[in-house]
Amino acid sequence: MPVAFRENINRCYQCGKCSTGCPIAEAMDMLPHQVIHLLALGMEARVRPLNTPWLCAGCYTCAVRCPNDIDVTAVMGELREKAIAAGAPCPCPDVLAFHRNFLRDLKRRGRIHELRMMGEYNLLTRRPFRDAALASKMLLKGRLPLRAPRALRGFKRWVRKAGRL
């Protein structure tokens, strides 16, 4: 029996445009259109151990390319949400750590401070100097600000109302 999703995945006719446009497709163990096909067949259990939903960059290229207006990015996000809620093990623990750290930083001030977020992520994954060479180059070129951006006014209040982050 097909699983209910916010997006109508049954409109997919497997053209594959979402997969051919995906910049992360070569790192995925199953292409996005194949994931949608399994979900339409009600095989969510076969999708759960895949790395595909976790590697989705959220760039919306797939959604823009879809001739049936299926937001594949939203489906991947929903798969991640369901896996987290079910306590299913993440096949990419570093991706989950990044995801949680990103949301925590966003929740703090409504904007991301890349330097702080990546520093915290590197500490969480026990590789504190992993991006040190890249960070120094970006700092010298002025591409990585030392100061955090100003917090958005009222963002914490909005997050509490939304209850989603």
The whole-number pLDDT of residue 109 equals 76
Q: Is the pLDDT of residue 122 over 80?
A: yes
Return the closest-CA partner of residue 110 out of 62, 156, 66.
156
- Is residue 107 very low, low, confident or very high in pLDDT (cuts 50, 70, 90)? confident
> 73 or 99: which carries more pLDDT confidence?
73
Tokens in use for 119?
Answer: 């520093």
- Tokens 């960070």 belong to residue: 135
| Chain Cα centroid distance, residue 53 | 8
The whole-number pLDDT of residue 116 equals 84
Asked if residue 1 is part of any domain, the answer here is: no
Asked if residue 136 is part of any domain, the answer here is: yes
The whole-number pLDDT of residue 3 equals 60
The whole-number pLDDT of residue 1 equals 47
Q: Do 80 and 103 have their domain in common?
A: no
> 105 or 16: which carries more pLDDT confidence?
16
Q: What is the mean pLDDT of residues 91-102?
A: 84
The overall average pLDDT reported for the chain is 86
Asked if residue 2 is part of any domain, the answer here is: no
Q: Please tell me the distance from the alpha carbon of residue 4 to that of residue 49, in angstroms, as a whole number.
A: 19
The percentage of residues in the chain with a pLDDT greater than 90, rounded to a whole number, is 39
Asked if residue 64 is part of any domain, the answer here is: yes
Of the ranges 32-36, 128-132, 137-141, which is most confident? 32-36
33-67 pLDDT, tens digit each:
999 999 999 999 999 899 999 999 888 999 999 99
Per-residue buried b or exposed e for 87-102, using 16+ beta carbons within 10 Å of the residue's own CB = eeebbbeebbebbebe
Q: Do 106 and 78 have their domain in common?
A: no
Asked if residue 165 is part of any domain, the answer here is: no
Domain ranges, residue 126: 93-152
Q: Please tell me the distance from the alpha carbon of residue 75 to that of residue 70, in angstroms, as a whole number.
A: 9
**The total number of structural domains that make up the chain:** 2
The whole-number pLDDT of residue 165 equals 47
